[in-house]
Amino acid sequence: MKLFKYALSILFCNAFRFLRFIPNNDPIMACMLPFAKQDKWWQGALFAFMTMVSFDFITMKVGLWTAVTALTYAGLGIMFHFVYKKQAGKVKLRHYIGSGIAGVLIFDFVTGVLFGPAMFGMSFAQAAIGQIPFTVMHLLTATFFIILLTPLLDRAIVSNPSLEDSAVFNRIKLWARA
């Protein structure tokens, strides 16, 4: 298990979300994609799910919306794992950007257009029209975060063998003995 990598990445993602320096300050897609390309199909799904649930828990806003968004992000993590598994060679930044665009369109359609009317008492047409400016902003911010954060997270945390649980625990044991 890669608990240290998950915990570090979830803490980073949630801390970043608290900054709120731009509208839709949500780096979850950018941070989930490197986990999705890993060797286990559930890694990206678990990361996205735990990030959504933990943020809503911290902000005391756990509810049906938490389940909808967390499960939608988890489904995207599973989908992208199999997309990346079929790609020959290394996943490049352009693959991550394409995945982010597709992921945002799917996420916003499911959460905003399909579930929005049921949860917020609006018509399907209102939800679809109202979703357009939000989705445009979401596409811009997700692409920005993917360009900025995804390669860094991929190299520094997700693909870094020195951050594997066994390596971290061995360093802690050595430090505790000293």
User: Residue 21: is its pLDDT beyond 80?
Assistant: no
Q: Is residue 175 part of a domain?
A: no
Q: Which residues contact 113 (CB under 8 A, 6 or more apart)?
A: 124, 127, 128, 131
Q: What is the pLDDT confidence band of residue 1, given thresholds at 50, 70 and 90?
A: low
Q: What is the CATH classification number for the domain harbouring 133?
A: 1.10.1760.20
Asked if residue 56 belongs to a domain, the reply is: yes
- Model confidence over 66-107: pLDDT tens digits? 999 999 999 999 999 999 988 866 889 999 999 999 999 999
Distances from the Cα of 154 to the Cαs of 44, 66, 118, in angstroms? 12, 26, 37
Whether 176 maps to a domain, the answer reads no
> Using one digit for the tens of pLDDT, what is the confidence trace for 36-62?
988 788 988 999 999 999 999 999 999
Report field, pTM of the whole predicted structure over 0.75? yes
Instruction: State which residues form the domain around 110.
Output: 3-170
**Distance (Å, whole) CA 148 – CA 146:** 5
Q: Tell whether 157 is covered by a domain.
A: yes
Q: Is 98 helix (H, G, I), strand (E, B) or coil?
A: helix
Residue 150 in any domain: the answer is yes
Domain count of the chain? 1
Asked if the structure places residue 22 within a domain, the reply is: yes
